[in-house]
Structure 1
Amino acid sequence: MTALSPAALDQLFNNARTFNKFTDQALSDEQLQAIYDLAKMAPTAFNASPARFVFVRSEEAKKRLIPLMMEGNQAKSMAAPVTVIVAYDSNFQEHLPTLFPAMDVKGMFDANPAMTETTAFRNGSLTGAYFIMAVRALGLDAGAMSGFDNTAVDKEFFPDGRFKSNFLINIGHGDASGNYPRSPRLSFDEAAQIL
């Protein structure tokens, strides 16, 4: 492999921002599928792929989601072209015989609900982070949020209880006028060590 160009690194990391405001340019089904098709390639334990995504785009669907969010997230999410519910499948191991044919690990998760929950949440979160990178890689912008009522979202969108909401992401073509000034980051010495 070779390193990405400085321009690509800027798009993915250095110049990328959490957007609070978006243009009214719509996102197509093809764009949403392209984001997923990149994000699904993210590494997960045993290729478990527990992340699930609900693309909330229609006005009707937004009206179901918006009241379940903190007030500060409501208007910007209503105006965003798409709000994505990033969730995880609490019974992801059902797919392991197909997703990880190298060995039989389904029973290991069936026998250990605590490990199943931890694996689903951790690996679903990991894929959600890659989802943000996929959005940026495709020339779009993202604004992740955790200010919402998980229990209410799960009841409204996942009434059978199998999927669990994790966080939300507004996606679209960002309008930088809604961005906060760039916040500082911790230095290497403050956040990391080499042993």
Structure 2
Amino acid sequence: MTTFDTVPLELEPRAQDLLFREARTANSFTGEPVTDGQLRAIYDLLRWAPTSANTQPLRIVAIRGEDAKARLMPLLDERNRAKTESAPITLLLAADREFDEHLPRLMPYAPEARAMFADPRLRATAADYNATLQAGYTILAVRAAGLAAGPMLGFDHAGVDAEFFPDGRHHAVLVMNVGKPGPGAWYDRLPRLEYDEVVSVL
């Protein structure tokens, strides 16, 4: 593990490890429930992270009940079903493609903000991009709550949209299992690219 002792981060090392270095994608979960209070705390943290033009298009459907989970299971890739079955709660993270209706409240200093997104294609692109950005924040907020996140792209996107968002307004960008990690939850840590492979300074 590379450390940079000469340029310490403001965030204390234990928090760095909790959010990044020691955190993993969970592949199994215990039966311990995720409470409504925990969900509220997770959202209350992630909502402060930035989105372009403060659009905040992320919408979350929390699947806890057996009937709802039964509707979701056939729409997941087969490799993702067992881990989802074990999770106490599964979040459907979706982009609200009509997020612009909230802009007068979210951008009170810019009364023309809605006009910026009058083109439906531009609005959909902005919604999907920013909701995906917020999905990343959600992973970190889940970890900050002392829980494990299991984000998955292996699902039938059109099928999830049709089953859970039939109004056509929302588009699923990620499915995420959340809970306390169970036996065998972690795979071996995979390599990461080094600084010089990623960062160029001009």
Q: What is the Cα deviation at residue 178 of structure 1?
A: 2.5
Moved over 4 A (4+): none
Aligned to 1:119: 126
In 1, Cα distance between the equivalents of 2:72 and 2:184?
25
In 2, Cα distance between the equivalents of 1:8 and 1:178?
21
1:185 aligns with 2:183: no
Q: What is the Cα deviation at residue 127 of structure 1?
A: 0.7
Aligned to 1:109: 117
1:55 aligns with 2:101: no
Q: What is the Cα deviation at residue 193 of structure 1?
A: 1.1
Counterpart residue identity of residue 66, structure 1: M
TM-score by structure 1 length?
Answer: 0.96
Aligned to 1:175: 182
Q: Which runs of 5+ in 1 are unaligned?
A: none
Q: What is the Cα deviation at residue 153 of structure 1?
A: 0.4
RMSD: 1.1
Q: List aligned pairs for 1:99-178, cutoff 5 A.
A: 99-104=106-111, 105-110=113-118, 112-175=119-182, 177-178=184-185
Aligned to 2:49: 42
Q: Deviations over 1:137-194 (max 9, x none)?
A: 1111101100000101000000000000001111001126221100000111112211
1:90 aligns with 2:97: yes
TM-score by structure 2 length?
Answer: 0.93
In 1, Cα distance between the equivalents of 2:184 and 2:101?
45
In 1, Cα distance between the equivalents of 2:34 and 2:150?
15
In 1, Cα distance between the equivalents of 2:29 and 2:190?
20
Counterpart residue identity of residue 108, structure 1: M
In 2, Cα distance between the equivalents of 1:148 and 1:80?
16
In 1, Cα distance between the equivalents of 2:86 and 2:39?
17
Q: Which runs of 5+ in 2 are unaligned?
A: 1-8
